[in-house]
Each structure stands twice: as C-alpha cells, then as structure tokens.
Amino acid sequence: MKDSRLNTRLLLATDSLDWVMNRTIKQSLSLKNATPLSVESDENAIPSKPIETLYIHIPFCHTLCRFCSFHKVKFSEPLAREYFVALRQEIREVIAKGYRFNRVYIGGGTTTILEDELIKTIEMIKGLTPIREVSCESDPIYFKEGNPQLLNGLVDRMSIGVQSFDDKILKASGRFEKFGSGLEQADYVARAIALIPTVNLDMMYGFKTQTPESVHWDLKQTLRLKPDQITTYPLTIGIGKNRKKAGSLAGDPHALWPQFLAVKKALSGRYLMEFPWTFSRNFGQAVENKYVLDGEDCFGVGSGAFGRFGEQFRISSFDIQDYIQLIKQQQSGTCYTKQIESSALLQHHLMIMMGHGRLDNSVFYQHTGKTLWQAFPLEMSYLIGAGAIKKDGSQYVTTEQGQFIGLKMFTGFLSGMDYLREQARDLPLMHQELSAEIV
C-alpha cells in the first residue's frame, strides 16, 4: 500500500483510538466508587511473596513546570522535613506489617530536594529489609548543585528528566530558568552518567515548535552522552483540568507519528527499542527494562502515591498535612481503594503486549484463561484493520504502525493516571480534625 494511504489509515485509526480511550478512562478510572480503606481488609491483603516495587513519592518542587500534572507543591523546608519524618514512619510500619519488596522506586516531585533526608530514608529501608535495586528520579541541576557522590552505593539507577536540549522548549515549559540551558544540562547529565551505575534520560516530544528534524537533533544530543536508557514520552495533555495548561504547549496530534519515526531513526542501531517509549543501550543483549509501570505490582507510600496490586488501586492522601497527621496517629497513609474492573485489566495487558510488539495467544491464554479473540473481539478487528498487527505463526506481531498505536495506548494510560490524580485531590480528607476544619 502507498505510504500516504497507509499514513491516512493510521491517522484515522489513532483519532478513533483517542476518542475511545478518553471515554473508557472516564468510565473505568472514575473514583466515584472509591472506598475508604478498611483496616481488616488491608491486613488480609498482605501478599505472601514480595511486591515488585515500593513506590515512594516526594511531592515538592522549587518551581513548577508548565506541562506537569504530577502531585507536587512549592517547596517549604519545615513542611518537607516533617513530611520525610512521616514518610519514614509509614515505611517502617509497612515493613513491620510484613510487606516485602524487590525494588524501591523514588519519584516526584523533586526527590533530591532534601538530600540528607533522602539518604536517611534509603539507608533506613536498606537496614530493615533486603532490596535488589533502588531507582530514583532526579532533575539535571542536582548534579551541579547537590552532592550526588553521597548517593554512591545507595542509588543504583537514576532517571533524569531532561525533556529537551532545545532552549526554546526549555523556556516554553519553564525549565530553562530552573535547570539551565540545553548545553549546561548536557554537562550536568554527563556528571551523572560518570557517577551512577545506570542512568535513564527522560526526553519528550509533541511540543508545538517540534518537527521531526528537531526531535532527531534532540535525540542526537542525548546519544552523545551515552546514557544506559532513554525514555521518550509524547507530551501527555490528560483529559481533565490539566488539559488546558499542557494543551497550550502541545502540537498537532498528527505530528506525533513522524516525530515517533524520527525518534526511532535517531536511536536505531545504537539503542534497542524495549517498548516504543523506552530504549536501552545496545550492548548486543537487552538491558533489563526497569520501567516502574510495567504492569507489575506496586505499593505506594507518601502523599500522592498510587499503588496497584492484585485487582486494586490504592490511593494515599493528596493533602500533605492530612497525610502527616494520619501517620502521626498511626493510621495508614493509603486512604482509598478502588477495585479495578477485569475489562480494564485486560486493556492494560493489551497495551503491554502491543508495547512488547507481540501478542502471544498461548501466553495470554495461560495468564487469563481466554484467547486473544475471546478477550478482544473488537480490538483485534480494529488492530488488523488499522494495519497494526499481522499474523506470525500462532501469534501476532506489531508493524511499525502498531508500535505507534501501542505508544498511543501508553499515552492514554498516562492520561488515565493524570485523571486519577486529579480526582484524588478532591477526595474527602481522612484525618478527622482536618476534615472538620474544612467543613
């Protein structure tokens, strides 16, 4: 089929996918039926084997970037110190209850905003329970202004948000004043790569001023630094209130396809595509993909953390004072749970399989007791019709168009997480006195 016809078919398919995903997210991720956590059911939920990831959220930033809808407030040192004390208490209690974890992932916000508190927290965890790997998010300026050598032996992997080396984009998103020019940030990132065992760089595309050529240029700057992993996020604009703010920075959604091809072209040969949004350095064999949302179980601690294990979402208080007071009273930091519908779990599997590039009927059947066609009659027809998957023996593999559709599904998933955060901010506070003050 001619390229232009293929492209038109793909763009029509992704437009309808965007529409369907927005509707499904609103239905399946509504928190209207979220229920307050009950202590008994919480204690019964402790799994006998380790949960894959303990996610720790640090909700403070010095200034706020225009595109970001993650949970964070402007930094205040006294509040942040009080927060870290509560956070450590929550972690101690969770471990004392019997929860065990393979990995720790510390995300933000700005995780390194109080380096001494971060170090104390990681040391405490390592003293309480064996942990295979500690992964931590960071921004580039930490490697100029902080003392990252103090994290030696404590942090195995750093995921550093660069987003772009293009000063125009850094200025538009509010990151130039904060973290320096693209050239300066490249210098800080080089220091990180020399110091930390595994470094991932987060890059973004889909901004208004970006073109396939500028995305290619950006990725070439990234390649020069030789990070172990590169994550390339399309700018997510969400489906709720954040949509307006992030949306003012976003380009035409149809511009994402040529930009995705530019990302692949820039990285091909030297990096392996693990997912259409994650690339690992090509040492001849794939680096283990450690992305926290791989669909593995995750237990969240701290204000604004989400957890997901089994068939439940667990949501911690999004109000920092409420969170601190709850922990002081030895109540759980997790306040609400939401049952995940089986159809939403299946959709998540489909996204991960599309991301992996392979829809394997027998593996899927072993996992769910259904064939792909039983679970996804409409979706399979749509994917075949859109030229996204083709038959390969007993399985289906994704085409390049299918990789892009997998990427769009992943952006839909990120929008869903934005939507959950947005609703979680409006859930009633759990701490009695604070909620009485508000009423």
Ligand X SMILES: C[S@@+](CC[C@H](N)C(=O)[O-])C[C@H]1O[C@@H](n2cnc3c(N)ncnc32)[C@H](O)[C@@H]1O
- Which of residues 21, 25, 50, 72 is near ligand SF4 by CB under 6 A? 72
CB contact at 8 A, 41 and 338: no
Give me the helices (H) in 299-399, please: 320-328, 342-356, 361-368, 372-375, 377-385
Q: Dihedrals φ, ψ of 188, to 5°? A: -65, -40
Q: How far is the CB of 186 from ligand SF4 (least distance, A)?
A: 18
Pairing of strands 395-398, 389-392: antiparallel
**Closer of 68 and 201 to ligand SF4 (Cβ):** 68
- Which of residues 70, 101, 313, 376 is near ligand X by CB under 6 A? 70
Site string for ligand X, 215-244 (x = CB under 6 A): ------------------x-xx--------
Q: How far is the CB of 98 from ligand X (least distance, A)?
A: 30
Which one of 32-40, 64-72, 82-90, 348-356 is the stretch in contact with ligand SF4 (CB under 6 A)?
Answer: 64-72
Q: Could you say which DSSP state residue 317 is in?
A: -
Q: Which does 64 bind (CB under 5 to 8 A by kind): ligand X, ligand SF4, none?
A: ligand SF4
Q: Which does 243 bind (CB under 5 to 8 A by kind): ligand SF4, ligand X, none?
A: none
Which one of 35-43, 59-67, 221-229, 344-352 is the stretch in contact with ligand SF4 (CB under 6 A)?
Answer: 59-67
**Which residues 6+ apart lie within 8 Å of 417 measured at CB?**
306
365/94 Cα distance (integer angstroms): 34
141/119 Cα distance (integer angstroms): 18
**Closer of 110 and 325 to ligand X (Cβ):** 110
Q: How far is the CB of 142 from ligand SF4 (least distance, A)?
A: 11
Binding residues for ligand SF4, rule CB under 6 A, total 11
How many CB atoms are closer than 10 A to CB 16? 12
Which one of 60-68, 96-104, 212-220, 374-382 is the stretch in contact with ligand SF4 (CB under 6 A)?
Answer: 60-68
- Which of residues 53, 135, 163, 173 is near ligand X by CB under 6 A? 163
Q: Is 65 in the site for ligand SF4 (CB under 6 A)?
A: yes
Helix axes 3-28, 342-356, angle to 10 degrees: 150
- Which of residues 52, 90, 139, 322 is near ligand X by CB under 6 A? 139
- Which of residues 50, 55, 70, 331 is near ligand SF4 by CB under 6 A? 70
- Which of residues 161, 234, 276, 300 is near ligand SF4 by CB under 6 A? 161
Annotate 186-249 with DSSP letters as a single string. HHHHHHHHHHSSEEEEEEEE-BTT--HHHHHHHHHHHHHH--SEEEEEEPP--SSTHHHHHHTT
Which one of 45-53, 62-70, 191-199, 304-312 is the stretch in contact with ligand X (CB under 6 A)?
Answer: 62-70
Sheet holding 389-392, edge to edge: 358-360, 395-398, 389-392
Q: Which does 202 bind (CB under 5 to 8 A by kind): ligand X, ligand SF4, none?
A: ligand X
Q: How far is the CB of 39 from ligand SF4 (least distance, A)?
A: 32
B/e letters for 398-415, b = 16+ CB within 10 Å, e = fewer, are: bbebbbbbbbbbbbbbbb
300/294 Cα distance (integer angstroms): 15
Q: Is 68 in the site for ligand X (CB under 6 A)?
A: yes
CB contact at 8 A, 37 and 335: yes
- Which of residues 137, 156, 319, 360 is near ligand X by CB under 6 A? 137
At 17, which helix (H) or strand (E)? helix 3-28
Q: Is 109 in the site for ligand SF4 (CB under 6 A)?
A: yes
Q: Is 139 in the site for ligand SF4 (CB under 6 A)?
A: yes
3/418 Cα distance (integer angstroms): 35
Q: How many CA atoms lie within 13 A of 392 on its CB side?
A: 11
CB contact at 8 A, 295 and 309: no
- Which of residues 29, 50, 103, 110 is near ligand SF4 by CB under 6 A? 110
Sign of the dihedral defined by the CA atoms of residues 78, 417, 341, 427, in that order: positive
Three-class DSSP category at 161: strand
- Which of residues 18, 167, 184, 202 is near ligand X by CB under 6 A? 202
Q: Which does 236 bind (CB under 5 to 8 A by kind): ligand SF4, ligand X, none?
A: ligand X
Q: How far is the CB of 348 from ligand SF4 (least distance, A)?
A: 24
CB contact at 8 A, 186 and 220: no
Q: Is 52 in the site for ligand X (CB under 6 A)?
A: no
Q: Is 68 in the site for ligand SF4 (CB under 6 A)?
A: yes
Question: Applying CB under 6 A, which residues contact ligand X?
Answer: 67-70, 108, 110, 137, 139, 161, 163, 202, 204, 233, 235-236, 246
Query: Given the rule CB under 6 A, which residues bind ligand SF4?
Result: 61, 64-65, 68, 70, 72, 108-110, 139, 161
